[in-house]
Amino acid sequence: MSYFENFIAAVQIANRELYRDHAMQASEIFLRHGALRVIECWADDIAHGEVTDFYRAVQAKEDETVVVSWIEWPDRDTRNAGMKKVFEDMPDEMMEMPFDGRRIVHGGFETLVDVAPGK
């Protein structure tokens, strides 16, 4: 089953297109090194919770929104090898991300349930 690299980050609302451009460039590198697909999602309908929420998870400020992303890999081994190559292949200028990388939530996840029509 697939393996997923997941990210949650706070991005300044004014930087939506800058973030999109950065994500498109990074996606090409991930795909070149074994990723099956890359999905970037801009918050559209998320609530501020009473105890916890996406905003608190990344300490989003008033002028920021939340981006949730995931990279699908065939398996964990491919992800581990691919991520190493991604960082070797990433141009220095791309390492300056259009968001505060210290507030990113990130991790790898194995598939537990995968339900879709025809599966």
pLDDT at residue 112 tops 80:
yes
**CATH number for the domain running over 3-110:** 3.30.70.100
45-86 pLDDT tens trace: 999 999 999 999 999 999 999 999 999 999 999 999 999 999
What are the E-state strand segments in 24-110? 37-42, 64-73, 105-110
Dist CA 69 CA 92 (whole Å): 22
Say what the pLDDT of residue 49 is. 94
First-residue to last-residue Cα distance in the chain? 12
pTM given for the model: 0.89
Q: For residue 72, report the phi and psi dihedrals to the nearest 5 degrees.
A: -95, 130
Q: Where do we find the tokens 């950065």?
A: 22
Band of the pLDDT at 101, cuts 50, 70, 90?
confident
